Each structure stands twice: as C-alpha cells, then as structure tokens.
C-alpha cells in the first residue's frame, strides 16, 4: 500500500540563539535573530522522506502556517527530500488550536493517509497541535514516536513512556508526533538546495480555508527566569546535610 504523507513544519528561533524578553514584557524579541525549522519538525520531514525512499510513501507534502518568510523553512524541507510544499500565509500569531484547524482543513483537501508533526515547537513548547489535530479530524494518534513502521494499512509506533516503551498499532489514516530519538535528520547538500528551488510551493490564505484563527489565549506577561544563585562549598557531609535542611529545605 502506497500512501501520501503530510508533514507540518514551523519556523522558529534557531535553537542556538539566546532569546531576550522584550522590555515591555509582551513577548520575546525575534528581530534580527536567526530563524530555522523547528528541530522536531525536521525529524518529522526526515521520517516521511525515509518512508518514500523505502517505497512505502508515494508523495511527501510539507505545510507551514505563518508569515511569508516561512517559505525558507519549506524550501529546507524540500531540500531534505519532500516533493511539494504548501504555505498557509498569515501575519497573525497563530496559536496551536488555530494551526490544528488549518491543518484539518488541508487534510480534508489533500486526503493524506499519514500526518506527521514534531511533538512540540521549541519557541512555545506547547505540545498541543498534533493532539488537537487528531481530535478535530477524528483520527487515531501516537505521540512521542521513537520508531515508525507502516505496513498493510496500519502504522506501528514505539513511544517512550515513564515505565519503558509502549507499542501502538493504528489504522491509517493517522496522526503521529515525533520524538528526538526517532531518527537523525540528514545534512542538506547544496545540490539538493538547488533542486528544492524548482519544486512546487503553493501559497494559500487563511481565508481560503474558511478557518477562524482568532486567539483563544491571552499572554499577560513574559519574563526571564530568575538568575541562578551561586553555589557554595562545604567542609564535610554533616555541614552539607544541615545546609540542605535549613537553606535548600529538601530534607
């Protein structure tokens, strides 16, 4: 059985960037900072491309919801090996529910058999979009996947849980979110970057999908975590225990 795979990707602040909170506390300052594909989404694209290379998938479509600059992120996904890209262009700050609704509308249009997302984005760490999408689309889901096997109209997913490893079998179509240990994304080569420029990238507006993306959450204030206090040296175990009792209060 050959399947069509849809992968969602997000443009986020590069993981090497040390972000700064705006002086007015309304959010994080991303002006003039390096932006990249969300690392978990990169793993999702890699997994989809591997499925196509193995002959399991016939087409890999990448989609991003966000500003015009998200085209760069989609081109990176195309360079990894995706076949075509779709940008749902929006100047609004899209919350997880809004993105899930947009992806649901796109699923209705494209009819993919497998939808893969990163488990969370490193900018907001919400870990919500995949679960919300599965609920809206009424599809089975497997989150935090560390191994994915597709065969005979089913997908078997290994996922790490507190007690060990859980194995789930889902009937396609299904939604999967990726964990770090699923794979290691390939290095994007210059020839593939050049090829990606010729691959189709479609741009559609939020209004074209008829989706209400009004925010449901309001950010009251953003603040940096408190600075970590300096450590201290103690002369012996007895003093250490006393410090833990009186100052750290963990005993």
| Residue 146: predicted pLDDT | 93
Question: What does each C-alpha distance from 147 to 128, 129, 178, 201 come to in angstroms?
Answer: 20, 20, 9, 29
Distance separating alpha carbons of residues 122 and 117, to the nearest angstrom: 13
From the centroid of its chain, how far is CA 182?
Answer: 13
Task: Tell me the fold of 3-226.
Answer: Rossmann fold (3.40.50)
Average pLDDT of the residues of the chain: 89
Digit-coded pLDDT (tens) for 106-130:
999 999 999 999 998 888 888 999 9
Question: Quick one: which H or E segment has residue 201?
Answer: strand 201-205
Give the relative orientation of helices 39-53 and 70-80 as an angle to the nearest 10 degrees.
40
Mean pLDDT of 46-67: 93
CA distance linking residue 103 with residue 96, whole number of Å:
10
What confidence tier does 163 reach under pLDDT thresholds 50, 70, 90?
confident
Domain spans of the chain, in order of start? 3-226
Which pLDDT does position 50 carry in this prediction? Answer: 95
Structure letter (DSSP) for residue 227: P
Contact 3, 114 (CB under 8 A): yes
């Amino acid at each position: 059985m050959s399947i069509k795979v849809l992968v969602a990707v997000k443009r986020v602040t590069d993981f090497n960037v040390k972000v700064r909170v705006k002086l007015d506390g309304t959010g994080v300052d991303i002006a003039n900072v390096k932006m990249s594909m969300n690392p978990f989404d990169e793993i999702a694209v890699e997994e989809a491309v591997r499925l196509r290379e193995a002959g399991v998938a016939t087409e890999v479509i990448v989609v991003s919801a966000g500003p015009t600059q998200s085209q760069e992120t989609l081109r990176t996904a195309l360079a990894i090996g995706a076949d075509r890209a779709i940008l749902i262009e929006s100047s609004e700050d899209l919350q997880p529910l809004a993105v899930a609704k947009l992806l649901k509308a796109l699923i209705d249009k494209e009819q993919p058999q497998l939808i893969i997302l990163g488990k969370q984005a490193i900018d907001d760490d919400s870990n919500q979009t995949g679960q919300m999408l599965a609920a809206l689309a009424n599809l089975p889901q497997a989150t935090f996947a560390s191994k994915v096997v597709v065969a005979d109209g089913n997908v078997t997913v290994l996922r790490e849980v507190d007690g060990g490893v859980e194995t789930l079998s889902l009937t396609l179509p299904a939604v999967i979110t990726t964990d770090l240990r699923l794979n290691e994304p390939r290095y994007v080569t210059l020839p593939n970057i050049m090829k990606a420029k010729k691959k189709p990238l479609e741009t559609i507006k939020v209004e074209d999908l008829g989706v209400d993306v009004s925010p449901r959450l309001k950010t009251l204030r953003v603040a940096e975590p408190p600075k970590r206090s300096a450590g201290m040296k103690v002369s012996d175990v007895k003093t250490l225990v006393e410090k833990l009792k009186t100052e750290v209060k963990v005993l």
